[in-house]
Amino acid sequence: MSTSTDVVVTGLGAVTPLGEDVESTWGALLAGRSGISRITDDWAKEFPAQLVARLATDPADQLDRVRARRLDRSQQVAVLAAEQAWKDARGADAGVDPLRIAVVVGTGIGGALTLLGQDDVLEEKGPKRVSPFTIPMLMPNGPAAAVGLAVGAKGGVHAPVSACASGAEAIRWGLDLLRFDRADIVLVGGTEACIHPLPMAGFAAMRAMSTRNDEPERASRPFDKARDGFVLGEGAAALVLERADAAAARGARAYARLAGAAATADGYDLVAPHPEGEGAARAISAALRDADLSPSDIGHVNAHATSTPVGDTAEAGAIRSAIGEHALVTATKSLTGHLLGAAGALESVFTILALRDQIVPATANLDDPDDDAAVQALDIVRREPRKATLHAAVNDSFGFGGHNLALVFTTA
């Protein structure tokens, strides 16, 4: 569906392994600094995959103590990123009726640390010692609800769950809410914080994680021949969306337009991506149609590229078939790790900043590109960031379950 409703991004927030806000994260990314390290905790010693991308700073330290103890870490980091974005957009001064403020914040896993931590309490001390805050801290809509309270949103609070596409899916929902005039301003984003033995063991059992334990900063290597899996990261990112005319009327600064979005399902397998990226290509093509743009308009793609052997080549095929070989592709998970449900939101922030600064960050560790024909054909930026004249860019995200999301941003 193409509509005449222009939607712009007026605020950004991020709390990531690379930095505690948007600009520090972006600066670290352009400088090629890795957020990945080896776990030093005793529990990890027997684990095949021991690498993580932890937050640069503990989110609980930046929140009121009592507030922090009632929020799961995934909620804490979501609230911090959302408050940054809201402040950046001067949302509190926008004069928007709370009934017209909506929130969409997705997560892939939800409050896993609370679930697992309280299960320990249950086993050790019995049911009476389980915290009364257990359920609001572990429920997957918990981060969206906490963000809604933080900004006083009464126009609806939503929590899409589509694994590693959740953050991107939240952005698409936000676009729809504005196009359907169900809100005047929407705070969207994604969050994840599940670095704990159980998720680590589960992903490792799927053989999805890198085991390059001796070289943490070289472990996440999307599109590289020697890639062997993703590195689990934590963090959150948030964006403020509003209709372009309303944003202009209140004098808000627009970073970029959110020109189009689309979602598809592979209909192929519960976890394995379609080998040729058929569903992913359909999502990208549909998002371009939604944005009323041609493949040749797209100058940059921030790829989902998690550094898994199967996923990266499937995505390369999808980008090549839906967009072509001219766009500058980058895979920022090479430095941030994989933030699961936050990935699509964080990488949208990166895509928007690439348009703002007219520069594409480099894919780290891409020493020897895969022999796959599509990987060879694409122009993947590596070694140094590349300056370019960019008008439109795509961020794609995929999730276990066969979820494919594509978002199209253009310069404001």
Partner 1 sequence: MSREDIQSGLAEILEEVAGVAPADATPEKSFTEDLDVDSLSMVEIATAVEDKFGVAIPDDELGNIKTVGDAIDYVESHQG
State the binding string over 134-163 for partner 1 (x if CB under 8 A, else -): --x---------------------------
Q: How far is the CB of 130 from partner 1 (least distance, A)?
A: 9
Residue type, 63: L
State the binding string over 13-52 for partner 1 (x if CB under 8 A, else -): ----------------------------------------
Q: How far is the CB of 81 from partner 1 (least distance, A)?
A: 23
The yes-or-no answer on residue 164 being catalytic is yes
Using the contact rule CB under 8 A, the part of the chain among 23-31, 64-72, 139-147, 352-360 near partner 1 is 64-72
The yes-or-no answer on residue 338 being catalytic is yes
Kindly tell me which residue out of 66, 95, 267, 389 binds partner 1, with binding defined by CB under 8 A: 66
Is position 61 an interface residue for partner 1 (rule: CB under 8 A)?
Answer: no
Contacts of 360 (CB under 8 A, 6+ apart): 300, 328, 330, 354, 381, 385, 386, 388, 390
End-to-end CA distance of the chain: 21
The yes-or-no answer on residue 196 being catalytic is no
**What phi and psi values does residue 14 have, to the nearest 5 degrees?**
-160, 140
Q: Are strands 37-38 and 51-53 parallel, antiparallel or unpaired?
A: antiparallel
Q: How far is the CB of 129 from partner 1 (least distance, A)?
A: 7
Residue type, 152: G
Per DSSP, the residues of 129-146 read GS-TTHHHHHSTTHHHHH
- Closest to partner 1 by CB, 115 or 366: 115
Active-site residue identified among 158, 164, 274, 403: 164
Q: How far is the CB of 150 from partner 1 (least distance, A)?
A: 17
Q: How far is the CB of 132 from partner 1 (least distance, A)?
A: 4
Q: Are strands 359-360 and 386-387 parallel, antiparallel or unpaired?
A: antiparallel
Supply angle C-alpha 333, 13, 5, rounded to 5.
100
User: Alpha helix locations (H) across 109-233?
Assistant: 112-125, 134-138, 142-151, 166-179, 197-205
Kindly tell me which residue out of 65, 95, 126, 270 binds partner 1, with binding defined by CB under 8 A: 65
Of 207, 189, 233, the C-alpha closest to 51 is 233
- Three-state DSSP state, 16: strand
Active-site residue identified among 158, 274, 338, 403: 338
Q: How far is the CB of 142 from partner 1 (least distance, A)?
A: 13
Per DSSP, the residues of 92-120 read GGS---GGGEEEEEEESS-SHHHHHHHHH
- Closest to partner 1 by CB, 143 or 190: 143
Contacts of 302 (CB under 8 A, 6+ apart): 330, 331, 332, 347, 348, 350, 351, 354, 393, 394, 395, 396
Q: How far is the CB of 125 from partner 1 (least distance, A)?
A: 10
- Closest to partner 1 by CB, 49 or 146: 146
Is position 124 an interface residue for partner 1 (rule: CB under 8 A)?
Answer: no
Kindly tell me which residue out of 126, 127, 132, 251 binds partner 1, with binding defined by CB under 8 A: 132
Alpha-carbon span 348 to 109, nearest angstrom: 20
Q: Is 292 left (phi over 0), alpha (psi -120 to 50) or beta?
A: left
Active-site residue identified among 158, 274, 300, 304: 304
Kindly tell me which residue out of 37, 131, 211, 213 binds partner 1, with binding defined by CB under 8 A: 131
- Closest to partner 1 by CB, 62 or 131: 131
Supply angle C-alpha 86, 89, 94, rounded to 5.
90
Number of residues that bind partner 1 (CB under 8 A): 9
Widest pairwise Cα distance in the chain:
62
Using the contact rule CB under 8 A, the part of the chain among 34-42, 77-85, 132-140, 341-349 near partner 1 is 132-140
- Closest to partner 1 by CB, 42 or 64: 64
Tokens 């929140």, located at residue: 63
Kindly tell me which residue out of 62, 90, 133, 176 binds partner 1, with binding defined by CB under 8 A: 133
Q: How far is the CB of 134 from partner 1 (least distance, A)?
A: 10
Tokens standing for 334? Answer: 């090479």
- Closest to partner 1 by CB, 129 or 182: 129
Q: Which residues are catalytic?
A: 164, 304, 338
Binding stretches for partner 1 (CB under 8 A): 64-66, 128-129, 131-133, 136
